[in-house]
Amino acid sequence: MRSLALWRAAGLAVLLAVAAVIPLDDNVVLTQVGVLVLMFVGAAVAWNIFSGFTGYISLGAAVFFGTGVYTVALITKHLNLVGGVVFALYPLGGLVAAVVAVPFGLIALRVRRHTFVVVTIAVFFIFQLMASNFSWTGGVTGISPPFLNWDATTVYNPFYYTALLIAVVAAVLAWAIWGSRFGLQLRAIRDDEDRARGLGVRTMRVKLTAFVISAFILGTLGGLYFYFQSDALPQYAFNPFFDLTIALMAFIGGFGTLSGPIFGALLLEPYLGWAQQQVSNTYAAQIVLGVLFLFVIILLPRGILPTVGEKLTALRASRQRRAAERGTGPPPGLPVGATAAASPAEPTTRSAS
Amino acid sequence: MTALLRTEGVSKAFGGVQALSDCTIEVERGSIAGLIGPNGSGKTTLFNMITGYGRVDSGDVYLNDAKITSRAPDKVFALGIGRTFQLTRVFSRLTVMENMIVAAHHKEGAGQTGRFRNPFARAGGAATRKRAMELLEFTGIAKLAGDRAETLSYGQRKLLVLSYVLIADPEIILLDEPAGGVNPTLIGTIAERIRELNRQGTTFLIVEHNMEFVMGLCDQVTVLDYGNAVVSGPPDMIRNDRRVLDAYLGTAEEDDDSSAA
């Protein structure tokens, strides 16, 4: 188990080192793609903190993302802000999104499963309609940011590092929550909410807290997106494909695991960026996305990382068994088979050790 | 002598079905009380009403003479009523130890000073884990502590459910069919554990269809029929009570009714 932790730490270090040097190449397109990839890593991790841990599938993440976009857009527009100071506004987008999450959560979290999904979609469309119909949101023409007079070759670098920071903070937060009492309560709710209540877990409060934390991260990313994309438009700030994409990322990598959403985002977002450049018809990539979703749900319902992890553990266990049969290695009856359920992708064994 | 747990005239209807009607029971402190009755007589509904899984239509529930009617399940648990479910409900993707820690949660926070609780504190302090291991040893599943609950057999899950209810040190434990679907050896183990805990001061209220189990274990048995407590007394009395036979087998007239329907 110790060597596994070492491998994981080493892998993370390499990943971070690669991420940190990418903009130094001065390749504008690469950095631009990098910003989107990192934003989706952060978004998928944030989505997973609520939906993955509690099992409540939310398709309303774009509500928080869009709220972040419009919050920062409106502040910038009214205060005529330019320059680096705008980066200080992103957390405000997160803050407003977190405030929105409280009534949203109090209503939506009363219902479960399919009903919950439907309620989140309904709230999502309410927000999209509000954005495109109110005058103070700029209606369908949206809001444009002030011109950023930055050097063309490095213009995306600040965005890149901010997105990297948000993604890392989100991942560390997810890790901290996972092993905490709070995280354990979330996972207990996922397995059996009524039973958790009967054991003293204040389920509404716990669910709402995770919902708000998730909203804060998504709102902050929305703020970043506003300057990065240079517009706040209803169809992009409140984009239904945003929800489907981050949910798919979490599902592909490993729903409810720590590394799953990161892996899924790193895998999927570059593909989407590439596909959009290959085919002029942007819907083609989205159709492929839908098909992919079906494949994942049917063939890999638990995601790539947990499935692969399980196969590896099973392989190791059978090898140990064979070694034991030859008279070497650990004696049979050791709980190798029993621990097989705890895959390396999920640190379920951590708290048990 | 006042009862530790008491329901007074509790009624509950689901649509047109009167699951409980004017149901009054009492559980003495330090006793093992049994609750029997035919299927659909309202035993589990009564459990649900006591533990806050649903609101009563009328009547009241008292714990230590304090009214706890229709309190939320987490509040009821914190007040000292632990319960198990008929279908063994464990957190399947958590380990056995994590299952224990979830249930220990409110005990854990109690030791901390001040109002502030660190939300990111690691789950399960050393004291909690030690206590959890003791209880798992007590129920005989300590070697499974690191395994996911979904890998446990049905009988092992029953033991886990009993263990995690115990970790919160409830005053009274409501067991819904602890012996249902369990092999005879394990039934013996479970009965022995219940007796042992009872000697240490825990009160029990047990719903069970296994008559041998109930009659051998309980000091006091209450019979429910059509949502009403028809008779209550020591096992010997219950065994020979005409009303109990009626409740279980139906009277001659009722048989005629049902065959005519």
Write the pLDDT tens digit of every residue in A329-345.
444 444 444 444 444 44
* Residue numbers of B between 152 and 191 with CB closer than 8 Å to A: 164-165, 168
- Asked whether residue A332 is domain-assigned, the answer is yes
User: Does the CB of A333 have a partner CB in chain B at under 8 Å?
Assistant: no
A328 band by pLDDT with thresholds 50, 70 and 90: low
Using CA coordinates, name the residue in chain A closest to B78. Answer: A200
Q: Which of A151-155, A346-350, B101-105 has the highest mean pLDDT?
A: B101-105
Mean per-residue pLDDT of chain A: 81
How much is the average pLDDT of A259-273?
A: 84
Domain shared by A145 and A230, yes or no: yes
A109, A56 Cβ separation under 8 angstroms: yes
Q: Which residue ranges form the domains of chain B, and what is each CATH number?
A: 3-92+169-260 (3.40.50.300)
Domain shared by A222 and A329, yes or no: no
Last-in-domain residue among A199, A223, A240: A240
Domain shared by A56 and A178, yes or no: yes
Closest CA to A213 of A256, A176, A260, A264: A176
- Asked whether residue A320 is domain-assigned, the answer is yes
Domain shared by A109 and A206, yes or no: yes
Contacts of A203 in chain B (CB under 8 A): 74
Domain shared by A183 and A39, yes or no: yes
User: Does the CB of A185 have a partner CB in chain B at under 8 Å?
Assistant: yes
Q: In whole angstroms, what is the distance from residue A320 CA to residue A14 CA?
A: 31
Query: What is the predicted pLDDT for the residue at A41?
Result: 93
The pLDDT profile of chain B, 261 residues, written as one tens digit per residue, is 578 888 888 888 888 888 888 888 888 888 888 888 888 888 888 888 888 888 888 888 888 888 888 888 888 888 888 888 877 788 988 888 888 888 886 665 544 444 455 666 777 777 788 888 888 888 888 888 888 888 888 888 888 888 888 888 888 888 888 888 788 888 888 888 888 888 888 888 888 888 888 888 888 888 888 888 778 878 878 877 777 777 776 655 544 444 443
Query: What is the predicted pLDDT for the residue at A220?
Result: 93
Query: What is the predicted pLDDT for the residue at A329?
Result: 47
pLDDT digits (tens, 9 = 90+) for A125-150: 898 888 888 777 777 777 777 766 66
- Asked whether residue A263 is domain-assigned, the answer is no
User: Does the CB of B95 have a partner CB in chain A at under 8 Å?
Assistant: yes
Last-in-domain residue among A240, A257, A284: A240
Contacts of B123 in chain A (CB under 8 A): 179-181, 183-184, 351
Percent of chain A with pLDDT over 90: 17
Q: In this complex, which of B85, B90, B122 lies closest to A179 when CB atoms are compared?
A: B122
Query: What is the predicted pLDDT for the residue at B109?
Result: 52
- For residue A188, the distance in angstroms to the closest alpha carbon of chain B comes to 6
How much is the average pLDDT of A157-167?
A: 88
* Residue numbers of B between 101 and 130 with CB closer than 8 Å to A: 101-103, 105-106, 108, 119-124
- Asked whether residue A15 is domain-assigned, the answer is no
Q: Do A199 and B98 touch (CB under 8 A)?
A: no
* Residue numbers of A between 118 and 177 with CB closer than 8 Å to B: 176-177
Q: Which of A166-175, A305-314, A344-353 has the highest mean pLDDT?
A: A166-175
pLDDT digits (tens, 9 = 90+) for A97-115: 999 988 988 988 888 888 8
Query: What is the predicted pLDDT for the residue at B26?
Result: 84
Query: What is the predicted pLDDT for the residue at B42?
Result: 84
* Residue A315 belongs to domain spanning: 310-352
Contacts of B146 in chain A (CB under 8 A): 335, 338-339, 342, 349, 352-353
Domain shared by A224 and A316, yes or no: no
Contacts of A195 in chain B (CB under 8 A): 85, 89-91
Residue B227: CB partners within 8 Å, gap ≥ 6?
B11, B12, B18, B19, B20, B21, B23, B41, B42, B45
Return the number of CB contacts < 8 Å for A and B.
123
* Residue numbers of B between 49 and 68 with CB closer than 8 Å to A: 51, 53
Residue A252: CB partners within 8 Å, gap ≥ 6?
A260, A263, A264, A267, A268, A292, A296, A300, A303, A304
Query: Whole-model pTM?
Result: 0.79
A166 band by pLDDT with thresholds 50, 70 and 90: very high
- Asked whether residue A20 is domain-assigned, the answer is no
Query: What is the predicted pLDDT for the residue at A333?
Result: 45
Among B68, B74, B118, pick the best mutation site for testing chain A contact (most A Cβ within 10 A). B74
Give the CA radius of gyration of chain A: 22
Domain shared by A195 and A76, yes or no: yes
Domain shared by A317 and A222, yes or no: no
Please count the structural domains in chain A: 2
Query: What is the predicted pLDDT for the residue at B59?
Result: 84
- Asked whether residue A266 is domain-assigned, the answer is no
- Asked whether residue A261 is domain-assigned, the answer is no
Domain shared by A195 and A88, yes or no: yes
Query: What is the predicted pLDDT for the residue at A214?
Result: 95
pLDDT digits (tens, 9 = 90+) for A283-325: 777 787 788 878 887 877 777 787 888 888 888 888 888 887 7
Last-in-domain residue among A240, A264, A286: A240
Which of the pair, B75 or A232, is modelled with greater confidence? B75
- Asked whether residue A8 is domain-assigned, the answer is no
